[in-house]
Amino acid sequence: MKRLKTLLGVAAIALAAPLAAQTVAITNAKVATGTGAAPIDGGTVVISNGRIVSVGRTGAPAGAQIVDAQGRWVTPGIIGGFSRLGLLEVDAVGESNDSSAGDDANPFNASLDVTPGLNPRSVNIPINRIEGITRAVVAPNAGNSIFAGQGAIVSLGDADDIAMRPRAFQFVELGEEGADLSGGSRSAAHAVFRNGLREALAYARNPAGYEGGKDRGAILTALDAAALVPVVQGRMPVLIHVERASDIQRVLDIKREFPNLKPILVGVTEGWIVADKIAAAGVPVIASALNDLPARFEMLGATQSNVGRMVKAGVKVALGMIDDEDGRQIRLLPQHAGNLVALGRVPGASGVTPEQALMLMTKAPAEIFGLTDTGTLEAGKRADVVIWDGDPLELASAPVAVMIDGRQVSMTSRQTKLRDRYMPNRPDDMPVQYRR
């Protein structure tokens, strides 16, 4: 009931729009900066020209629009560390799913780019935006090869072009899925991966020769080889989906063979088993927070303490939705992070602190992907700001206002419109068939 009342009362803290060109001071707030520091009670966040000017207990500058947060929590916008947001509406309806190109007629894999498939008007974007998601990592699904293609970093702002960083990374499937795509063997999947990197090096040395047919033995098309050049040269990170501890170890071994490679591990259900090795290699992780059951053979070591143990081992961890409603439900990340905090109170389990939980969704994904101007509430950063009606890690809490680049976004979605239309006890402006 609290959540419903909050959504119905959003107008009580509505901000004047547009905001990007004016100075706004959010005062009387409980400010969680996302830096790991304790929240600032009675804090003020000053915003101007889409950027954060200052954060602290200072007063509002003269002439600023004052927004009294009334003691509410204020946090950075949440960054979905892994998703397929904007690429699909209904998974099983091919016409609405642009997350993969698995048809045999498609000759391309690594060179595929999710950007043309992104739909800024997807109904899933406002549904997640009003829950505090302001940026997201969008990855393709693998089609015919372990090389799924190039993903993007997107902004959930109300714009026709949501790709703030297209072709931001390459996505690769290893583990069980990679084995299936390579004839049923993990050995084959790793051979395909290593061969792809070597062919990219060959292409970089002599593009004309590769395209001219001198490398007739090459497996990759010229476009795919060209797409992997920045990966093997270390100019583009590669997200690698692995769950089993031994698969994680193999990726770390590949990094030694290709020292410029910048892998980011995705999934990593058994990461806690080799957490010390991941930390020593300096390889970041995007993990699913709630994998606590062996859903597949590669997840036999699943435990909800996985993230907490990796954090304690010194691994850079962010949260994402990996193959778990990742096209629609990244809005659940605060709930997942809250579970990790609660886990810290369970004897024998490993959780995280509230400050760490917030960083898993803000600062950590920003740092992993080199988003230097977002992820925290600090001077000079993009003004991605969320005002909550309660503790953002509590299930009953919800945002009452969301700002992206200093501009307040609409707090309506298809779901809220349906709720408003069909809610019982409404006045007689409802359609006749729904009146009571």
Q: pLDDT 10s digit of each residue in the chain, 436 long?
A: 334 333 333 334 555 444 445 899 999 999 999 999 999 999 999 999 999 999 999 889 999 999 999 999 999 999 999 999 988 887 777 777 777 776 665 678 999 999 999 999 999 999 999 999 999 999 998 988 999 999 999 999 988 889 999 999 999 999 999 999 999 999 999 999 999 999 999 999 988 888 755 555 678 889 999 999 999 999 999 999 999 999 999 999 998 899 999 999 999 999 999 999 999 999 999 999 999 889 899 999 999 999 999 999 999 999 999 888 888 889 999 999 999 999 999 999 999 999 999 999 999 999 999 999 999 999 999 999 999 999 999 999 999 999 999 999 999 998 888 888 877 665 566 666 555 5
Annotate the chain with three-state secondary structure: CHHHHHHHCHHHHCCCCCCCCCCEEEEEEEECCCCCCCCEEEEEEEEECCEEEEEECCCCCCCCEEEECCCCEEEECEEEEEECCCCECCCCCHHHECCCCCCCCCCCCCCCECHHHCCCCCCHHHHHHCCCEEEEEECCCCCCCCEEEEEEEEECCCCCCCEEEEEEEEEEECHHHHHHHCCCCHHHHHHHHHHHHHHHHHHHHCHHHHHCCCCCCCCCCHHHHHHHHHHHCCCCCEEEEECCHHHHHHHHHHHHHCCCCCEEEEECCCHHHHHHHHHHHCCCEEECCCCCCCCCHHHCCCCCCHHHHHHHCCCCEEECCCCCCCCCCHHHHHHHHHHHHHHCCCCCCCCCCHHHHHHHHCHHHHHHCCCCCCCCCCCCCECCEEEECCCCCCCCCCEEEEEECCEECCCCCHHHHHHHHHCCCCCCCCCHHHCC
Structure confidence at residue 102 (pLDDT)? 67
- ∠ at Cα 109 (104, 113), nearest 5°? 120
- Per-residue pLDDT of 223-279, as tens digits, reads 999 999 999 999 999 999 999 999 999 999 998 899 999 999 999 999 999 999 999
Q: Where do the CATH 3.20.20.140 domains begin and end in the chain?
A: 78-368
In the numeric block, which tokens belong to residue 141?
């699904």
Structure confidence at residue 214 (pLDDT)? 54
Structure confidence at residue 435 (pLDDT)? 52
Nearest one of 415, 414, 407 to 158, comparing CA atoms: 407
Which residue type occupies 132? G
Structure confidence at residue 306 (pLDDT)? 97
Question: Using an 8 Å Cβ cutoff, are 74 and 98 in contact?
Answer: no
Q: Which pTM value belongs to this model?
A: 0.90
- Per-residue pLDDT of 129-184, as tens digits, reads 999 999 999 999 898 899 999 999 999 998 888 999 999 999 999 999 999 999 99
Nearest one of 150, 164, 176 to 237, comparing CA atoms: 150
Class of domain 78-368 as given by CATH = alpha beta
Q: Where do the CATH 2.30.40.10 domains begin and end in the chain?
A: 2-76+382-422
In the numeric block, which tokens belong to residue 216?
């007739």
CATH 2.30.40.10 assigned to domain 2-76+382-422? The reply is: yes
